[in-house]
Amino acid sequence: MSHGKDHSPEELERILRGALNRRQFLGRTAMAAGGLALSSSFLSACTGKEAAKAGADSTAAAAAGGGAKEVRISNWPLYIDKATVADFEKATGIKATYTEDINDNNEFFAKISEPLKRGQSIDRDIIVLTDWMAGRMIQLGYCAPLDDSKFPNKVNLLDNVKDVSFDPGRKFSVPWLSGMTGVGYNPKRTGRELTSINDIFDPKFKGKVTFLTEMRDSLGLVMLGMGKDPTTCTLDDAKAAAAKIKKARESGHIRKFTGNDYAADLAAGNIAVAIAWSGDIQGLAADNPDLRWIAPKEGAMLFSDNMMIPKTSDRQDLGLAWMNYVYDPAHSAQIVAAAPYLSDVKGAGEELAKIAPDLAKSELVNPPAELRARLHVFRGLDEKEDQEFNRIFQDAIGA
């Protein structure tokens, strides 16, 4: 001890006990934390092994000059049938890993944008994002141009989606499927048929309503209900719609804001009404024949989800082979039969009539002209507007 003062025995004992206690305390904390670390390191060891294996695979592929053929695809859940991936592997000899890991455009973008910015691989050769996000990816230069010579079936692309504002001439992207955003409901829970967007705000459904976290879908539909057109909307229109959503959220009328996961709640009966994507409800109808999807009389939103090849992919040819395969009308029809959205492939309708004649007549996969006229696409927003709209919307949904 460097300082001269002698401690009284009581003081010394106090200090010693204090030290002991703190050490014990630390020891206990460490022990409990060790329990957690053990389980998490066990988990990470498992994923680590897989990652190492994947790493070894890609090195092997590189060594063999692309000899080990595997195309890695990311897509949204409930967006494909069970056979297409296996059929593709059989037909082309290319192995395919199909991962349903996109649940939200912004969230997926946040995951991939940093590596893409640095020019690093994201271990994906095909990604599927909605129009506005596809536009942002293309604008940022994150997508590889499509080599049409390796994608002959591209001629099957429907004329009405050939020239879109975010990708003129479809140089970087082609639609995977298109769909409509409207109102999904369970007539047993609502007790009546719904026709209008504003039915969602019926006080009877309090606490039994979900909206989508996808800003353009939720804001767009509410705007239509207020008599505004999302195709030409202003910031004030967005503010008014957001205020309406915020009020419904704070009063407890809206139970949740969701991605695809509203489907499970609708099927379980936790909710009665949802802002819903057209194909999801049809997909659930097999087990829940009561569920209904409508394009409200005020209008519905239209979107496409677009396949793109990240510019950092070292297997762009394999990505093109996948695009080429699913742009065959028969193959596209097979996908639509399980995921009843709109195919953008010429001739897919005729092929669908052969394998699923009932579904081919449904307006979900073949909207009549009267319905098509009611479909709206949210207007393009520049980066600054996008942030502003998003801030208003995130505030409204309480996030």
Q: Which residues contribute to the site for other proteins (CB under 8 A)?
A: 14, 17-18, 20-22, 24-25, 28-29, 31-33, 35-36, 39, 43, 104, 106-107, 110, 207, 213, 249-250, 252, 254-257, 268-270, 387, 390-391, 394-395, 397-399
Q: Are 78 and 279 in contact (CB under 8 A)?
A: yes
Instruction: For the CB of residue 159, give the shortest distance to other proteins in the complex, in Å.
Output: 35
CB of 143: closest distance to other proteins in angstroms?
Answer: 20
In terms of CB distance, is 72 or 255 closer to other proteins?
255
- Rounded distance between C-alpha atoms, residue 129 and residue 172, angstroms: 12
Please, which residue, 204 or 297, has the CB nearer to other proteins?
Answer: 204
Residue nearer to other proteins on the CB measure, 48 or 252: 252
Q: How far is the CB of 7 from other proteins (least distance, A)?
A: 15
Least distance to other proteins from the beta carbon of 260, Å?
14
Tokens describing residue 255: 């139970």
Nearest partner of 290 among 190, 151, 218, judged by Cα: 190
- In the complex, minimum distance from the CB of residue 382 to other proteins, in angstroms, rounded to a whole number: 15
Least distance between other proteins and beta carbon 139 (Å) = 15
Nearer to other proteins, 51 or 110 (CB): 110
Residue 164 vs 381, nearer CB to other proteins:
381
Cβ-based nearer residue to other proteins, 154 or 249: 249
